[in-house]
């Protein structure tokens, strides 16, 4: 099938296998180039969080040599950093949420290639979907990792500020205000819902992967017939549902995936609450 399609593209000229696969690789690289605009925001947000991470790290190094009389300027500089992060949250956090949805869809398509390769007409189609999955996953991991570095840099700043000020015999009002503000968590979020940390990366990828498997199992159960039977118990009419034409393995697999997804969501909520 691939050989026929490639001959049509090159005016029915017979091609050897090395040349054929070279054209396939060129096609894959072109697909990556086409998908780059889709990942533009992910790259932009990754660079932005990386610059913010470097700024906080440099700020942490600078406060080690600041005299007590200059902590008013230190306080103003840190408030400026927090204000900048707040503006990022107001304008870009919703796009982080849409990027998460985009990554979930591409992961589902990538799993479809692995679980159901017969649904694709040729190797080129499978490679195209695989390139989409790899590009979006790498870009999303870069976004999540750079976002988690902001939180880690802010935590290091808090520890450093406590270490420096704990060695001073007296603490002035600016130092007290600076310490109280530093103790507040500083992080970027997904639409102001979940903070982006390292645990968020694992929780998100695991939850999306579990739901992709769950949706795939639901899709494969095409012969399910749901019949509701009335049942009288103690004068009350109850309804129970019977599943027909479902094998024991399919039912157990579906139930296991459902329980695993619920457990993952509960663990994610427990970690972030």
CB 149 within 8 A of CB 195: no
- The tens digit of pLDDT for each residue in 190-209 reads 999 999 998 888 888 888 88
Query: Within the chain, where are the H helices?
Result: 2-9, 17-35, 40-62, 71-115, 123-166, 173-182, 198-220, 248-272
Q: Tell me which residue of 84, 57, 85, 62 sits closest to 74, measured CA to CA.
A: 62
**pLDDT at site 101:** 85
Instruction: Pull the structure tokens for residue 36.
Output: 């780059």
**Alpha-carbon distance values, 53 to 85, 150, 185, 219, 243 (Å):** 11, 5, 14, 43, 54
User: In the structure, what pLDDT confidence band is assigned to residue 240 with cuts at 50, 70 and 90?
Assistant: very low
- The tens digit of pLDDT for each residue in 138-161 reads 889 999 999 999 999 999 999 999
Q: Report the alpha-carbon distance of residue 160 to residue 64 in Å, rounded.
A: 8
Helix (H, G, I), strand (E, B) or coil at 227: strand
The reply to whether the predicted model has a pTM over 0.85 is: no
Question: 44-53, 165-174, 216-225 — which is least confidently predicted?
Answer: 216-225
CB 143 within 8 A of CB 40: no
- The tens digit of pLDDT for each residue in 110-143 reads 888 888 888 777 777 788 788 888 888 888 999 9
Q: Report the alpha-carbon distance of residue 3 to residue 167 in Å, rounded.
A: 74
**pLDDT at site 258:** 58
Instruction: Pull the structure tokens for residue 183.
Output: 């103790």
Q: Report the alpha-carbon distance of residue 207 to residue 186 in Å, rounded.
A: 25
Residue 83, number of CB atoms within 10 A of its CB = 10
Instruction: Pull the structure tokens for residue 101.
Output: 């949805």
Q: What is the mean pLDDT of residues 56-63?
A: 94
Instruction: Pull the structure tokens for residue 8.
Output: 């049509």
Alpha-carbon torsion angle 46, 50, 56, 61, nearest 10? 170
Write down the domain spans for the chain: 34-225
Q: Report the alpha-carbon distance of residue 152 to residue 56 in Å, rounded.
A: 10
User: In the structure, what pLDDT confidence band is assigned to residue 72 with cuts at 50, 70 and 90?
Assistant: very high
CB 268 within 8 A of CB 207: yes
CB 92 within 8 A of CB 45: yes
pLDDT at 238 over 50: no
**Tokens 């999955």, located at residue:** 133
Q: Tell me which residue of 62, 49, 132 sits closest to 93, measured CA to CA.
A: 49
Mean pLDDT of the chain: 77
Q: Report the alpha-carbon distance of residue 165 to residue 156 in Å, rounded.
A: 14
**pLDDT at site 268:** 57
């Amino acid at each position: 099938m691939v050989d026929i399609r490639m001959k049509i593209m090159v005016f029915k000229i017979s091609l050897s296998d090395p040349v054929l696969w070279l054209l396939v690789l060129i096609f894959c690289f072109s697909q990556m180039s086409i998908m780059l605009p889709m990942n533009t925001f992910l790259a932009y947000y990754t660079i932005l969080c990386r610059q913010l991470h470097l700024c906080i790290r440099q700020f942490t190094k600078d406060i080690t040599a600041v005299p007590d009389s200059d902590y008013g300027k230190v306080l103003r500089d840190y408030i400026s950093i927090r204000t900048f992060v707040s503006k990022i949250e107001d304008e870009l956090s919703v796009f982080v949420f849409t990027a998460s949805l985009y990554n979930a869809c591409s992961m589902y398509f990538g799993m479809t290639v692995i679980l159901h390769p017969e649904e694709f007409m040729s190797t080129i189609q499978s490679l195209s979907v695989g390139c989409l999955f790899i590009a979006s996953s790498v870009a999303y991991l870069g976004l999540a990792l750079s976002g988690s570095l902001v939180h880690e840099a802010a935590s290091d700043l808090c520890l450093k500020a406590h270490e420096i000020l704990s060695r001073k015999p007296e603490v002035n009002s600016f130092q007290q205000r600076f310490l109280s503000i530093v103790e507040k968590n500083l992080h970027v979020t997904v639409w102001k819902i979940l903070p982006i940390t390292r645990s968020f990366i694992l929780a998100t990828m695991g939850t999306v992967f579990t739901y992709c498997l769950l949706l795939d199992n639901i899709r494969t159960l095409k012969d399910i017939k749901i019949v509701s039977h009335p049942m009288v118990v103690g004068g009350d009419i109850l309804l129970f549902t019977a599943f027909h034409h479902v094998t024991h393995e399919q039912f157990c697999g579906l139930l296991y995936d459902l329980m695993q997804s619920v457990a993952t969501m509960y663990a994610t909520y427990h970690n972030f609450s």
